[in-house]
Amino acid sequence: MPTPTRCPCLSGLPYDECCGPLHRGERTAPTAEALMRSRYSAFAVGDAGYLRATWHPASRPADLDLDAGTRWLRLDVLATAAGGPFDTAGTVEFRATYRDADGTRGALHELSRFVREDGRWLYVDGTTPRG
């Protein structure tokens, strides 16, 4: 997939100034929300290696196959709790809208848990919020 000009996380910044440096390992996410945004962008650009690298080893799947037919369209951050530069844990609630190869639209609504270990934020797991 070609490198996008605009960052898929919809920060308003160019990809090469937003999530691109995180995907390339040039820097790490300073907050849980920044990591969640970069992981969404990794899904959008098909970077399974980054997704695995930022997944906590205790919950990381053995294999991660991304569906090339899924097009990620929009990310909405709905809420955050903790997850700042001086925290060791945090949550981010988001809704990610997508379109499958057959044109079907859908949305993933998740409350994601993150931990910071050795100065790096890691995705632990997510649940579907009620309501």
Per-residue pLDDT of the chain (131 residues; tens, 9 = 90+): 556 689 999 999 999 999 999 999 999 999 999 999 999 999 999 999 999 999 999 999 999 999 999 999 999 999 999 999 999 999 999 999 999 999 999 999 999 999 999 999 999 999 998 76
Spatial distance between the Cα atoms of 74 and 41, rounded to a whole number of angstroms:
10
CB 34 within 8 A of CB 98: no
What is the CATH T-level fold of the domain 15-127, as seen in this structure? Nuclear Transport Factor 2; Chain: A, (3.10.450)
User: Which residue do the tokens 């639209």 mark?
Assistant: 105
Q: Where exactly are the structural domains of the chain?
A: 15-127
Q: Report pLDDT for 130.
A: 79
Q: Any idea what DSSP says for residue 14?
A: B
52: part of which helix (H) or strand (E)? helix 48-53
Q: Which stretches of 33-88 are assigned E, i.e. beta strand?
A: 71-82
Q: Report pLDDT for 77.
A: 97
Note the pTM of the prediction, 2 decimals.
0.94
